[in-house]
Amino acid sequence: MSRADTIIPRVVAGVLDGQKASRDDLLECARLAGDSAGHYELLYYANQIRVKHFADTVRLCSIGAGKVGACSEDCKWCAQSAAFAPGQKPAELIGPEELTDAACSARRNHASSFGIVNSGLKPGDPDFQAVLEATRQIEQATASEMRLCASLGLLTPQQAAELVDAGVTRYNHNLETSERMYAQMVSTHAYKDRVDTLKTARTAGMSLCAGGIFGIGETWADRIDMGLTLRDEIEPDVVPLNFLSPIPGTPLGDAKPMGPREILNIIAMYRIMMPTADIKIAGGREINLRDMQSWIFYAGATSVLIGNYLTTIGRSPEDDLKMISDLGLKILDR
């Protein structure tokens, strides 16, 4: 019997029994999943965790940009950073009407939540007031049927409380990668700022959405360490996983694209690390997964971002809805 026949089922049996997988065991599972037999075994067992906690249900969410471009920060993968596009136009604010139209369109595509996402380190007063107004208009236009989320960067306790009062019930702020790798990717704000913002949002009463980006040169140890920080310190309800779409002009513009099997292994490892969290597949899935889009659910995902992303075009909602229907999965649209 090979190691792949023993450790992956043993780790998953522990997780199904309510135990937390150890860092060493997780690293070993990831290593074994690097060959074909281990890869399919990892997916097979990760799917058992998904089925136990989510049965045949999935959720869809959608995002709209509230403020675009000219960001002061230097996240190396991001096309919105002014550091990589000198002479970029000033940041553009998107009006509440346009965001409300986007939310209504997402609702028609069965999204149960809509997030307003702003570029920048933290909200300034005009853009923050615009988010509050957009939130109120979307609540009215969708008859409060959608969960409203916001992703505005670093937050003060006062801003967090105002978002809650306006109807925002979930805050997104990604850790992006491990603390070790983060220091190589971003120099303009600290990992701790991100952790603190998530805790501020939680204290104000918001549910948390926090994940990261892969394909930026990180190792498996980085992937697992971010997952363990999320699992043990942050406890998000939703974990968005993004896969780099290299954007020309950014420092990662020439990065080698990820392969589909590696992406599926990451999804499966996050399902094992956080068995009851909603694992959401977000940016970069179409270009990196190619023909293997539908495998994300077998690997353990329970949610996808439907429609376009912030800086790249997504798959058509019709294709995603057809894929989910063909798989016999049911969309929870509340």
Binding footprint of ligand SF4 on the chain (CB under 6 A): 71, 73, 75, 78, 80-81, 119
Nearer to ligand SF4, 54 or 309 (CB): 309
Look at residue 170 and give its three-state secondary structure: strand
Q: Of the candidates 329, 333, 282, 289, which has an alpha carbon nearest to the alpha carbon of residue 304?
A: 282
- In sequence order, which ranges of 77-154 are alpha helices (DSSP H)? 96-108, 125-141
CB 150 within 8 A of CB 187: no
Q: How far apart are CA 152 and CA 119, in angstroms?
A: 7
CB 95 within 8 A of CB 65: no
Q: How far is the CB of 278 from ligand SF4 (least distance, A)?
A: 22
Other C-beta atoms within 10 Å of 204: how many? Answer: 20
Q: How far apart are CA 220 and CA 202, in angstroms?
A: 28
Q: How far apart are CA 206 and CA 233, in angstroms?
A: 16
DSSP state of 32: H
Nearer to ligand SF4, 110 or 122 (CB): 122
Torsion of CA 293, 294, 297, 302, to 10 degrees: 70
Nearer to ligand SF4, 176 or 320 (CB): 176
Nearer to ligand SF4, 130 or 324 (CB): 130
Q: How far is the CB of 75 from ligand SF4 (least distance, A)?
A: 3
Q: How far is the CB of 292 from ligand SF4 (least distance, A)?
A: 26
Nearer to ligand SF4, 27 or 255 (CB): 255
Q: How far is the CB of 138 from ligand SF4 (least distance, A)?
A: 22
Q: How far is the CB of 211 from ligand SF4 (least distance, A)?
A: 13
Q: How far is the CB of 267 from ligand SF4 (least distance, A)?
A: 22
Nearer to ligand SF4, 89 or 322 (CB): 89
Q: How far is the CB of 188 from ligand SF4 (least distance, A)?
A: 8
Nearer to ligand SF4, 193 or 333 (CB): 193
Q: Of the candidates 231, 229, 228, 288, which has an alpha carbon nearest to the alpha carbon of residue 255?
A: 288
CB 297 within 8 A of CB 50: yes
